[in-house]
Amino acid sequence: MQKSLTAFSDIEITLVGDENKIKPYITNNDRITILDAKEVIEPTDEPVRAVRRKKDSSMVKMAQEVSEGRADACISAGNTGAPS
């Protein structure tokens, strides 16, 4: 993340998740913000149901950020819901 901020002076990064877990890893930088999300979509959750019911999950909140124009893109390491 730091390399991206250094290489591209015009980007801002929003991290979405449990703020208390994220904060210890982030240095003070006015181009990084944290959007707190307390719910977690588990690998065992049915994807459509989880998105509808877990409105305070990082997956839902980051999609809203893009949908409402506050973010240009999102990247997730979360569960895809694809059968294994």
Name the one residue in this structure whose structure tokens are 């990064």: 13
- The domain limits of the chain are 2-67
pTM, two decimals, is 0.84
CA distances to 4, 22, 26, 27, 58 from 54, rounded to whole Å, are 31, 20, 26, 29, 9
Over the range 16-37, which residues count as b (16 or more CB within 10 Å of their CB) and which as e?
bbeeeebeeeeeeeeebebbeb
Residue-level pLDDT at 79: 66
- Contact status, residue 77 vs residue 41, Cβ threshold 8 Å: no
pLDDT in tens, 8-36: 999 999 999 999 999 999 988 999 999 99
